[in-house]
């Protein structure tokens, strides 16, 4: 064998040795670059709580399955892109209480998907119109706190490597929510006028939290205009109770509320059920919107 081939053989052997020594096996690469843990949330209010609970935890990301302007998911249908998002999830955080009616279908297609139901253990209120359980529990700050506690505890179990961080973040966010609740009670508890008319059945938990009396609801079903009979019934109730404030929602047209207001002398204000938000994932989105609700309520009820 001539010298050229000997040198070539030596170079190949050295190259193989260096590659096997310096290159990372899949196991080593996995150890040094741990797989990202992905939390998928169903819609905006769950997303805001989850980004607070998972705040600044390396390797953990939170993805909202739906667009932040989607709103409530009562009749939501899963899309192919939703299923693709869920396929990447290590855990799926939902409100529960009947909000995500598609959940059985999702779990059926992905039986290994871990689901955290944030409203688990919360006492539910039944709608006066149909007797069904109302899922809008997060609109009560007290129940939102319970949801955050559920999230942090369950995420700590599912992702034990970060259990201390989830629990610490959850405790920090709960303190902020408790301060918000105290602030709102301080400003609202002394107001004598407690009668309100809301746009949808989104506020029974909020009303219970702050001892408000919902005299009537303008639209029982979001997106469905009230009938002439329903409007007439609402007008009668408003006049009888001498209600001065109607609360529309920023996600829907104020047309029906303004029509009723013109016939009763009541004034239209805004209450946000916090089902939609900005694209930037503002970590204080819930608190800011609730502070706007406080401002609206104080203005409306002190007249």
Q: Which are the contacts of 46, defined by CB distance < 8 A and separation ≥ 6?
A: 64, 93, 94, 95, 118, 138, 147
Model pLDDT for residues 27-57, shown as the tens digit of each residue? 323 233 457 999 999 999 999 999 999 999 9
Domain residue limits, the chain: 34-184, 188-301
Q: Which residue has the tokens 């396929």?
A: 87
What Å distances lie between residue 264 and 3, 197, 268, CA to CA? Answer: 104, 12, 11
Q: Which CATH superfamily hosts domain 188-301? A: Nitrogenase molybdenum iron protein domain (3.40.50.1980)
On the question of a common fold for 34-184 and 188-301, the answer reads yes
Q: Which of 5-9, 216-220, 233-237, 247-251 has the lowest mean pLDDT?
A: 5-9
Assigned CATH topology for domain 34-184: Rossmann fold (3.40.50)
Q: Where residue 6 falls among pLDDT bands split at 50, 70, 90?
A: very low
């Amino acid at each position: 064998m001539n010298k050229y081939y000997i040198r070539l053989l030596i170079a190949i052997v050295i190259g193989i040795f260096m590659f096997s020594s310096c290159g990372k096996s899949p196991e080593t690469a996995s150890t040094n670059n741990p797989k990202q843990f992905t939390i998928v949330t169903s819609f905006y209010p769950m997303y805001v709580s989850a980004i607070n609970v998972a705040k600044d935890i390396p390797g953990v990301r939170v993805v909202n399955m739906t667009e932040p302007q989607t709103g409530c998911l009562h009749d939501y249908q899963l899309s192919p892109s939703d299923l693709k998002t869920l396929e990447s999830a290590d855990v799926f955080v939902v409100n529960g209480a009947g909000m995500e009616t598609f959940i059985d279908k999702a779990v059926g297609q992905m039986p290994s998907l871990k689901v955290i139901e944030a409203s688990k253990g919360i006492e539910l209120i039944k709608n006066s119109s149909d007797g069904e359980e109302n899922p809008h529990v997060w609109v009560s700050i007290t129940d939102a706190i319970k949801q955050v506690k559920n999230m942090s505890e369950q995420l700590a179990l599912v992702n034990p490597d970060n259990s201390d961080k989830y629990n610490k973040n959850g405790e920090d966010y709960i303190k902020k929510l408790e301060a918000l609740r105290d602030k709102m009670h301080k400003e609202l508890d002394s107001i004598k006028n407690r009668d309100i008319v809301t746009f949808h059945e989104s506020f029974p938990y909020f009303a219970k939290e702050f001892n408000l009396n919902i005299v009537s609801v303008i639209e029982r079903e979001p997106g469905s205009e009230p009938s002439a009979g329903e409007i007439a019934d609402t007008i009668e109730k408003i006049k009888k109770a001498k209600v001065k404030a109607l609360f529309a929602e920023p996600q829907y047209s104020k047309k029906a509320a303004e029509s009723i207001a013109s016939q009763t002398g009541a004034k239209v204000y805004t209450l946000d059920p916090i089902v939609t938000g900005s694209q930037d994932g503002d970590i204080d989105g819930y608190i800011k919107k609730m502070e706007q609700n406080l401002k609206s309520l104080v203005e409306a009820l002190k007249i």
